[in-house]
Amino acid sequence: MDQPEKSSSRLLASSGRRAFLGASAGLGAAAVAGLAARAAPLAVPESNRTMGDPIPETDYGMPIEYEDHVRRRRTDVFVNRQNYSDWSMTPLHQQLGIATPNGLFFERHHNGVARIDPDVHRVAIHGMVRQPLLFSMDDLMRYPSVSRFHFLECSGNGLTDWREARSTTVQQSHGLLSCAQWTGIPLSWLLDEAGLQDGASWVVLEGADGSGHLRSIPIDKIMDDALLAYGQNGEMLRAEQGYPVRAILPGWEGNTNVKWLRRIYVTNEPLHVRGETARYTDPMPDGKWRQFSMEMEAKSVITNPSGGMRLPGPGPVELSGFAWSGNGTISHVDVTVDGGRSWVEAQLEGPVMEKCLTRFRFRWNWDGTPAKIASRAVDSTGYVQPTAEQLARVREISGFVQHNNAIFPWTIASNGEVGNAIA
């Protein structure tokens, strides 16, 4: 997809809600059937005539049965035939707002979901510290806490669609992405209490799951904004999200946010474990492999409309989606409806927060002819989300390639069907 300069079509972005709705008035009854229905008498439904459900003594609320189709799903694009090291993806096209419900938050496990008794769980800090520390959950819960919104994205998000359109829906192509309000303790507070020795420059985080998943993290990141989190969207972590405690490294690839955290080992060098050599590394054009590329660069995707949807007919459409960056905030998002020949600035919906999902919207009147739509994010560092062609110039696209943050287009056919247009 080409990336010319923004055209005068930017003016379209300034059209207000009144103009957008007014445009629908000339579309005919078929296109505005929902508006025409307002003229009919409003029937009194059965729910007005009967008692509602009784209030239970105790309960854990669940979505109503009419929303039962909104589910986290394992992918059928890159099929994994065992049940312990795999993904389960967030339905981004059905997520309202920026916070992902805990039951829909994507999963990535290396050896299944650990179920840990918080009364026996312990977190150790040792290595190059003046005072090794061992915490129970009761100890940790006595510390002052903070709550912050941050996105979490697997480094493999989008890996099936580098060169060809393999995913049908945005859940399959981008569903290894979610966002939550995390509550916990800044890791810098705990390391300050342990006291770092001279030369301490890396921290190894280790989980208590069956894989003993661990990653080496530069200590600067730990001291900057890392959290030891036990809360997610107002409740304790779910088991699949690392209950009772996990690491949150804002803006860094998901696997560094070690779940079921049990050990924080301070050292002066990375361990170069399997997750840092055979996995989670990037092939480069010169034949070498890049290690420790853990920041998730600016990215965006249109979620409405997206693959698998069908527009009901020509007329007003609100293009909307998510943008995010692991290197700061989203400064703006451009949208194209003509395959990249021109770009229009979309409206960002607040709050726009650092290393957090940002919702963007753009009001468009589709004329019923085939179209190719896409979004392009720019972050507070000035970084511009690249095309797939631009990304391929600096990365070797072969095998199990990660960190795909390329612009992702959708086609809209004349019958309204929306499809993957990455090829």
List the CATH number of the domain containing 316: 2.60.40.650
Q: Using omega within 30 degrees of 0 as the cis cutoff, is the peptide bond preceding 312 cis?
A: no
In this structure, of 22-26, 141-145, 302-306, 411-415, the range with the lowest mean pLDDT score is 22-26
Q: What is the pLDDT of residue 30?
A: 44
Indicate if the pLDDT at residue 213 is higher than 90: yes
Distance of alpha carbon 95 from alpha carbon 177, whole angstroms? 11
Indicate if the pLDDT at residue 17 is higher than 70: no
Residue 22 placed within a domain: no
Note whether 227 and 306 are same-domain residues. Answer: no
Give Dmax (Cα) for the chain. Answer: 77
Dig out the tokens for 125 from the structure.
Answer: 């800090």
Edge-to-edge order in the sheet of strand 122-127: 133-136, 122-127, 261-267, 202-207, 214-218
Distance of alpha carbon 105 from alpha carbon 101, whole angstroms? 6
CA–CA–CA angle 102, 303, 76 (5° rounding): 70
| Domain boundary residue, one of 260, 291, 322 | 291
Average pLDDT over every residue of 208-215: 96
**Residue 119: pLDDT band by 50, 70, 90 thresholds?**
very high
Q: What is the pLDDT of residue 315?
A: 97
Residue 12 placed within a domain: no
- Collect all residues with Cβ–Cβ distance below 8 Å to 128 and sequence separation of at least 6: 196, 197, 199, 200, 266, 267, 268
Note whether 271 and 305 are same-domain residues. Answer: no
Note whether 244 and 162 are same-domain residues. Answer: yes
Q: What is the pLDDT of residue 140?
A: 98
Query: Domain with 266 in it: what CATH number?
Result: 3.90.420.10
- Collect all residues with Cβ–Cβ distance below 8 Å to 47 and sequence separation of at least 6: none
Residue 42 placed within a domain: no
**More confident position, 207 or 4:** 207
Note whether 375 and 393 are same-domain residues. Answer: yes
pTM of the model: 0.92
Note whether 199 and 271 are same-domain residues. Answer: yes
**Of residues 336, 331, 321, 422, the one with CA closest to residue 3:** 336
Q: What is the pLDDT of residue 9?
A: 37
| Torsion over CA: 158, 159, 163, 166 (sign) | negative
Residue 55 placed within a domain: no
Q: Using omega within 30 degrees of 0 as the cis cutoff, is the peptide bond preceding 244 cis?
A: yes
Distance of alpha carbon 204 from alpha carbon 213, whole angstroms? 10
Distance of alpha carbon 238 from alpha carbon 365, whole angstroms? 42
Question: What digits encode the pLDDT tens for the residues 77-100?
Answer: 878 888 899 999 999 999 999 999
**Of residues 108, 146, 139, the one with CA closest to residue 259:** 108
Cα-based distances in Å from 233 to 100, 147, 329, 414: 8, 9, 21, 41
Average pLDDT over every residue of 306-330: 98
Residue 225 placed within a domain: yes
Dig out the tokens for 390 from the structure.
Answer: 């631009």
Residue 159 placed within a domain: yes
- For the chain, what percent of residues have pLDDT higher than 90? 81
Note whether 177 and 228 are same-domain residues. Answer: yes
Average pLDDT over every residue of 285-314: 96
Q: Where are the alpha helices (DSSP H) in 227-365?
A: 274-277
Query: What three-state secondary structure class fits 342?
Result: coil
Q: What is the mean pLDDT of the chain?
A: 91
Note whether 204 and 317 are same-domain residues. Answer: no
- Collect all residues with Cβ–Cβ distance below 8 Å to 80 and sequence separation of at least 6: 74, 86, 87
Note whether 205 and 349 are same-domain residues. Answer: no
Q: What is the pLDDT of residue 28?
A: 43
| Domain boundary residue, one of 237, 267, 291 | 291
Distance of alpha carbon 100 from alpha carbon 93, whole angstroms? 11
Q: What is the pLDDT of residue 29?
A: 42
- Collect all residues with Cβ–Cβ distance below 8 Å to 54 and sequence separation of at least 6: none
Average pLDDT over every residue of 384-389: 95
Residue 11 placed within a domain: no
Q: What is the pLDDT of residue 79?
A: 81
Q: Where are the alpha helices (DSSP H) in 226-299?
A: 274-277
Residue 196 is given by DSSP the state B
Give the residues across from 33 on adjacent strands: none
Q: What is the pLDDT of residue 56?
A: 95
Domain count, the chain: 2
Note whether 246 and 350 are same-domain residues. Answer: no
Over its C-alpha atoms, the chain yields an Rg (Å, rounded) of 24
Note whether 251 and 362 are same-domain residues. Answer: no
Distance of alpha carbon 352 from alpha carbon 98, whole angstroms? 10
Average pLDDT over every residue of 409-422: 97
Average pLDDT over every residue of 315-319: 97
Average pLDDT over every residue of 295-322: 98
Note whether 260 and 167 are same-domain residues. Answer: yes
| Domain boundary residue, one of 225, 260, 291 | 291
Residue 148 placed within a domain: yes
CA–CA–CA angle 371, 373, 376 (5° rounding): 155
Note whether 303 and 285 are same-domain residues. Answer: no
Q: What is the pLDDT of residue 279?
A: 86
Q: What is the pLDDT of residue 36?
A: 53
Residue type present at position 11: L
Domain region containing 276? 71-291
